[in-house]
Structures are given as structure tokens and as C-alpha cells.
Amino acid sequence: MVPTMGALHDGHVSLMDRARALGDHVVVSIFVNPLQFGDASDLAKYPSDLDGDLDICRRAGVDLVWAPSIDHMYPDGFATRVSVTGVSEPFEGRHRPGHFDGVATVVTKLFAVIRPDGAVFGAKDFQQVAVIKRLSADLGLPVGIDVAPTVRDHDGLALSSRNARLDPASRSRALAIPRSLTAVEKAWRSGVRHTDELETILAAELLGLDVDYASVVDPQTLSTRRDDHAPAVALVAATVGSVRLIDNTVLD
């Protein structure tokens, strides 16, 4: 299966293609999950085009789309939350309290209802993938978690449903995010390994943006790297205009 919140784009299609290569049947879920939105206005602004999404799924060869209502997913009396500690706490967890509880709850329910053999997620949401892997491992869920590479537009910006809300000027400014990741990748390839140096390079490209974080951390725990020879992931979150964007690159 490919879990989505709709507003589908080529990044989602790449997940569907990967799922089709891995399994005999592909299920896509389309559900804008209110539990993972701390800000009601952000939820209200989230783009929705079910007819367009269904057309994309048909053309991608999807076998089944499940698009439940909020009342169906969370009927009166719904009282369960699933919480993953540790990897959920820094970064997005700090800036969006309760977000990952919402993610873990909806993913657990989607897996319970659809019962897929595997699920495909995009690497752009690095911390979300880490949370879901931890959730699946801890609860012994019989679902293989596959991670597909981030798909980028011609200008380098990672594909996201939120990009539709960027006006031309904001989109131009947002390109500082992929530039920052390219700069830190180049530094890594040239032999730079110390976290402070890498973070300085990362931050230098982001001047002028409203940055929530620009960090280089351990990709398994999302905590501070203790060894300059250890692998690393660079994580960025910044708001451009009124649109909050996240991106990352694994430095290993």
C-alpha cells in the first residue's frame, strides 16, 4: 500500500510505481488525517482534489483506492492514541507537538484495516519514516516498510503537496533549501566530517528564511553524532511565506 493525504503529484506516482514493482496488487489510501495537524488553519488550507487524485491513481495502475471519511476513521467514542517516543521527539516533534502521535495512530489503523504485506513511504519525510519503522518494529507489525528516494522538480525543490501554495517569489526563495543540502553534500564528499562545520555550511545557504532547524545528526537515532566517522543525515525545516517545507539528505 501507499498511504497518502491526497493532493497527489509525481512524487506519489513514484511510490505507486515502486509498490507495483514490489507486490501483486497496489492499494492507495487517501485520507487527510486531522490528528497530525496541530493548527486547525493548516488543516483547512491543505489542498484536496479527490477526482484528480483518482485519475492519477487510475493512470498509475493502482488496483484499489480507499478514501474514508473522518467519521469513518474516527467515529464517536474513538479514544485511542499510538505514541512512539525517542525518534519522534526532536525536530518535527518539538515544533509540531502531537504530530507524530497522529501519524502513528493513523498508520496503525491503516495497516490494521488494509493488512498490506508492505507499505511504501517517501524519503523526504525522513523523521516520519523513522517513527513508522520504530512503530512497526516495536509492535511486531507484519508490514514491510520500504523507503523510496525523494523526487525533485526541475529546479531541485522536493515535490510536496504544499508547493502548490508557493507563489513565484516564495518558490524562488525556497530553492535555498535544496541548495543548502547540495552544499553540505559537496562538503561531505570533500572530506568534511565534523558536525559543527557541516551545520555551518548548511545554515549559510538558508539566510533570510524562517528556519526551524538545520541540523546534522545520527540517521538512526536523530540524536547528536558522537563520532565524526559516523554516518549522518542533514535535516532542514523552514517557512517560506506562509508555507512550511522540510527536506533532507543522507550523508553516507
* pLDDT, tens digit (0-9, with 9 covering 90-100), for 112-140: 999 999 999 999 999 999 999 999 999 99
Edge-first strand order for the sheet with 210-217 is: 210-217, 232-240, 243-251
Task: Please give the positions annotated as active site.
Answer: 12
What whole-number percentage of the chain has pLDDT above 90?
96
Give first-to-last CA distance, the chain, whole Å.
28
What is the per-residue pLDDT across 56-90, written as a single tens digit (0 to 9) for each? 999 999 999 999 999 999 999 999 999 999 999 99
Chain mean pLDDT for the chain:
97
Residue 148: the pLDDT is 97
What is the per-residue pLDDT across 185-222, written as a single tens digit (0 to 9) for each? 999 999 999 999 999 999 999 998 999 999 999 999 99
Question: pTM score, two decimals?
Answer: 0.96
- Could you tell me the domains of the chain? 2-148 (3.40.50.620), 161-251 (3.30.1300.10)
For residue 238, give the 3-state DSSP assignment: strand
